[in-house]
Amino acid sequence: MSKRYDDKVVIITGAGSGLGQATAIQLAKEGAKLSLVDLNEDGLKETKEKVLELAPDAETILVKADVSKEDEVKNYVDKTVEAFGKIDGFFNNAGVEGKQNMTEDYTSDEFRWVLDVNLNGVFYGMQHVLKVMKKQGYGSILNCASVGGIRGVGNQSGYAASKHGVIGLTRNSAIEYGEHNININAVAPGAFMTAMVEGSLRQMGGDNWEEVGKEFVKPNPMKRFGDPKELGHTVAFLLSDEAKFINAQVITIDGGQSYKY
């Protein structure tokens, strides 16, 4: 029986943990060939092991890369094309939170670093993947923004600025490339229980972070964190041929919290 991603090639950045790892597992189960990218080599190896547990025949390549460095981004794109000959989908997911601080205390070095990873990294990825997809005449790109890209969250100047930028970049590029049979969208996850969110809770509560987490989700209509698997299913749909006419959209996945007065 054929699967939705049979013979499809997908790049996932930030694949070594969290949302990227969950998406890699889901796409592999659906038949995708995967180019897994992360700065953390141990994380990449762990993702590959988890992928092969559930999809033993999955074809994967692992590429270590710092997405804030354009030459390393170009390398992971080139490596993918060398290995598989094409790029059908791209989950442009790698990101960092940065240290929490009021704007007046947010250092310029921290601000620069967060934008380098979260915004410049997304731009470099799009730039080099789009060259491949335009030549092919098709493709799907999904950028990872955040609810911090559609509203203020406090104490996160760099993160909020970078994720707002990702949404602007997504919408602008989607308008440019629709005529080339390339659709470009973004997801805006809320609080999913990942290592990054745990780190954020630890910044707020230290060893008491789990209790802080319980308080954190109380305002959410669903009273819980998201499960990374839930985002993996959403990404799998948005990068599939079933979603080709969805373009320039930002899909918020946060249990409804963004719309609560």
List, as own/partner pairs, every contact residues 55-61 make where C-beta atoms lie below 8 angstroms and the sequence separation is at least 24, other chains included. Answer: 55/25, 55/28, 55/29, 55/31, 58/28, 58/32, 58/33, 58/34, 59/33, 59/34, 59/84, 60/28, 60/33, 60/34, 60/35, 60/36, 61/34, 61/35, 61/36
Among the listed residues 106, 159, 259, 261, the single catalytic one is 159
Q: Known catalytic residue: 159?
A: yes
Buried b (16+ CB within 10 A) or exposed e, 208-227: ebeeebeebbeebeeeebbe
Q: Which among 250, 256, 173, 194 has a CA at the least distance from the CA of 219? A: 256
Q: Would you please indicate which residues are annotated as catalytic (active-site) residues?
A: 159
